[in-house]
Chain A
Amino acid sequence: MDKPSKIAGRVLIVPKHNIDTDMIFHNAHLAITDIKQMGRHTFTSLDGFKDFPEKARPGDILVSGGNFGCGSSRQQAVDCFASLGVRLVVAESFGAIYKRNAINSAFPILTFPGILGAGVSEGDEVEFDLRTGEAFNRTKNASLGKGQPFSGVQWEIYQAGNLFEYGRRAGEEG
């Protein structure tokens, strides 16, 4: 059965641009390979947001600024959110490698130019539609406009569960 196109949850906001992968998941913890251990290091070197792992609850949605996840290719910077149960990351734009890492591990991310100024406050309950890019603030009962819908590949990998499964379905096992 297809995963639903809509994701709703409580929003946590990190209102900054150019958050690099060291700020998300510092290189001091790179030797960690167990996803369960990753969550508690999320943002722990980003001033003002070091308490993120305590604050985040399963089902939350993270909203952030432009060029989110620029920097290194570390997968941990995506996996740490999955580890905390964060269901979706919405940002004004993403670093290219970060975007691939998220797409390939079927972790939903949505590119949404202007989201920081679109009328969403920390703690609001917001619904995002991955297929259309639309966002609706349930707490304020207002539309937040439209981000970029999932691309075809992104949707298919998301449905398949990961790149490997998608590759199998696409006959790309090599």
Chain B
Amino acid sequence: MGKTTIEKIFSLRSRDAVAPGSIIWLDLDVRSARDFGGANVVKNFRAHYGDAPVADPHRTVFTFDCQVPANTIPYANNQMTCRLFAEGQGMRVFDVDAGIGSHVTIDNRLAVPGDTVVGTDSHLNILGAAGIFGQGMGDVDIAFAFKTGRTWFEVPRSMRIELTGRLKAPATAKDAVLALLGMLGSDGALDRSVDFTGDGASALTLDERITVSSMVTEMAGIIGFFPVDGETAEFYGGRDLPAIAPDPDARYERTVTLDLGTVVPSVARPGSPSDVVPVREAAGRKVHSVFIGSCTNGRFSDLHVAAGILKGKRVAPGVMLKVVPSTRGVWQKLLESGDLQTLFEAGAIVSQAGCGGCASGQLGMTGKGEVQVSTSNRNFKGKQGDGDTYLASPATAAWAALTGVLTEPKE
């Protein structure tokens, strides 16, 4: 019988029989912890294993991205706890200058397709975009993984999302995943592993795949995989990659299809990532602040789209525009491409690479009555302050910044 992507990867990394619902021991190639969660991982590790070594220190890492640099004393203490532990263990630390852990993992080729990665970040399943199994876990889980290099896992059931057609500008990959959220709802992929298949999936760039995979979490899914293909190989510099793709006769519990050609610029209304409407239905809503960044839309291509829209113009009076590159590498490209200058002249606040603008506190919060347009992945009440947050693509966000109201992006 054919295997789905997760069944393939698990079969490569486990000695147990892999079938949906079975519980297996899984070998982990990379184990990571962020600044949030990291200190608790260390605490658990010390309490249960004392000074024992971590599994392979070269692939057991810390990635700081939540509060970079630390802006509260408890965070500063937590980061120091991790740094000192790493020093003693000979582990690598991607420190406060590096950027979002999941993106750092991809961009530094810490993991390659077919690998298994766990960490304290609930969006680590972004790695599915590159055919890597990534999974966010709590600090007890990660402490155990730090020590043993393994974990137990219940093999999830799989569903397939077949993408056909091509996106039509000005619709983007973010609009496509919002469309899927609207179709499937906040628990549409509950406990499932998702395989994105079809010619529409193959046509997406790695950055676009990251955007789509990142929001499988908001559908309550375990992970969303794209097949490893030429696009992936190019990113890995022509390296020989294992063929990670579902078998043609893989068994899925459910298949849904989305014609990318039907996708229109969309927003998720405040309160729920799955309350999705076309931008035109919300057009005219006054906007006070705009955030472009996060693990969903903080790649260079995302910020480049926004810069293109803002070039030679200024954001509407009274609108605050925050731009946060996902990694230091993206920062550098902004600098080299001239986009940094464009964004600066348009009135943007460009911040340190990381989770600022998404994770609480690092780059401000919203106040009561504030309407924010964010390219991030969550808009639950209270997550980013007392204001209302719409989720949108970088293009929609840039147009909102330019006009001061929700506006359908033009081509």
B138 touches A97 (CB 8 A): yes
The secondary structure that dominates the A interface is: loop
How does the 8 Å CB contact mask read for A57-87 relative to B, with 1 for contact and 0 for none?
A: 0000000001100111111001000000000
B121 touches A73 (CB 8 A): yes
A71 touches B138 (CB 8 A): no
A74 touches B148 (CB 8 A): no
B141 touches A101 (CB 8 A): yes
B40 touches A75 (CB 8 A): yes
B235 CB within 8 Å of chain A: no
B380 CB within 8 Å of chain A: yes
Which among A45, A73, A104, A153 is the interface contact of B37 at CB below 8 angstroms? A73
How does the 8 Å CB contact mask read for B319-359 relative to A, with 1 for contact and 0 for none?
A: 00000000000000000000000000000000000000001
B186 touches A18 (CB 8 A): yes
Q: Closest CB of chain A to B106's CB: distance in Å?
A: 19
- B contact residues around A18 at 8 Å (CB): 186-187, 272
Q: Closest CB of chain A to B75's CB: distance in Å?
A: 6
Give the nearest-CB partner of A157 in chain B: B152
- B contact residues around A153 at 8 Å (CB): 23, 152, 154
Q: Closest CB of chain A to B220's CB: distance in Å?
A: 6
Q: Closest CB of chain B to A170's CB: distance in Å?
A: 8
A42 CB within 8 Å of chain B: no
Which among A30, A66, A172 is the interface contact of B148 at CB below 8 angstroms? A172
A143 CB within 8 Å of chain B: no
Give A141-167 interface residues, CB cut-off 8 Å to B: 151-153, 162-164, 167
B220 touches A95 (CB 8 A): yes
Give the nearest-CB partner of A168 in chain B: B48
CA distance A33 to B144 in the complex (A): 18
A124 CB within 8 Å of chain B: no
Q: Which of A3-11, A21-29, A130-138 contacts B (4 or more CB under 8 A)?
A: A21-29
B383 CB within 8 Å of chain A: yes
CA distance A100 to B72 in the complex (A): 29
- A contact residues around B78 at 8 Å (CB): 31, 33
B13 CB within 8 Å of chain A: no
Q: Closest CB of chain B to A135's CB: distance in Å?
A: 22
CA distance A26 to B361 in the complex (A): 12
Give the size category of A's interface with B. Answer: 35 or more
B222 touches A96 (CB 8 A): yes
How does the 8 Å CB contact mask read for A90-110 relative to B, with 1 for contact and 0 for none?
A: 000101110011001100000
CA distance A18 to B150 in the complex (A): 30
A93 touches B140 (CB 8 A): no
A174 CB within 8 Å of chain B: yes
Given contacts A67-B187, A96-B220, A151-B23, contact A174 B140 (CB under 8 A): no
Given contacts A23-B382, A152-B23, A164-B144, contact A96 B191 (CB under 8 A): yes
Give B124-177 interface residues, CB cut-off 8 Å to A: 136-141, 143-144, 147-150, 152, 154, 156
A173 CB within 8 Å of chain B: yes
B202 CB within 8 Å of chain A: no
B74 touches A67 (CB 8 A): no
A72 touches B39 (CB 8 A): no
B215 CB within 8 Å of chain A: no
B139 touches A75 (CB 8 A): yes
- A contact residues around B190 at 8 Å (CB): 67, 93, 96
A174 touches B55 (CB 8 A): yes
B378 touches A100 (CB 8 A): no
- A contact residues around B154 at 8 Å (CB): 151, 153
- A contact residues around B37 at 8 Å (CB): 73-75
- A contact residues around B156 at 8 Å (CB): 96
How does the 8 Å CB contact mask read for B183-209 relative to A, with 1 for contact and 0 for none?
A: 000110011000000000000000000
B89 CB within 8 Å of chain A: no
Give the nearest-CB partner of B42 in chain A: A33
Given contacts A73-B137, A74-B37, A75-B40, contact A27 B23 (CB under 8 A): no
B11 CB within 8 Å of chain A: no
Interface hub of A93, A100, A101 (most chain B Cβ within 10 A): A100
CA distance A43 to B186 in the complex (A): 20
Give the nearest-CB partner of A20 in chain B: B380
CA distance A162 to B144 in the complex (A): 10
Which among B140, B152, B272, B359 is the interface contact of A105 at CB below 8 angstroms? B140
Q: Closest CB of chain A to B405's CB: distance in Å?
A: 28
Which among B138, B220, B272, B382 is the interface contact of A101 at CB below 8 angstroms? B138
Give B361-387 interface residues, CB cut-off 8 Å to A: 361, 378, 380, 382-383
B301 CB within 8 Å of chain A: no
CA distance A27 to B74 in the complex (A): 13
Which among B72, B220, B222, B383 is the interface contact of A31 at CB below 8 angstroms? B72
CA distance A106 to B212 in the complex (A): 34
Given contacts A20-B380, A31-B74, A174-B150, contact A97 B39 (CB under 8 A): no
Q: Please name 4 further chain A to chain B contacts, defined as beta carbons within 8 Å, in addition to the given A27-B359, A31-B72, A101-B141, sorted by A numbering.
A: A67-B190, A97-B137, A101-B138, A167-B148
Could you list 12 examples of A-B contacts with CB < 8 Å? A22-B382, A31-B75, A33-B39, A33-B40, A45-B382, A71-B380, A104-B138, A104-B144, A151-B23, A153-B152, A163-B140, A174-B55
**B residues engaging A (CB < 8 A)?**
23, 25, 36-37, 39-40, 43-44, 48-49, 55, 72, 74-75, 77-78, 120-122, 136-141, 143-144, 147-150, 152, 154, 156, 186-187, 190-191, 220, 222, 272, 359-361, 378, 380, 382-383
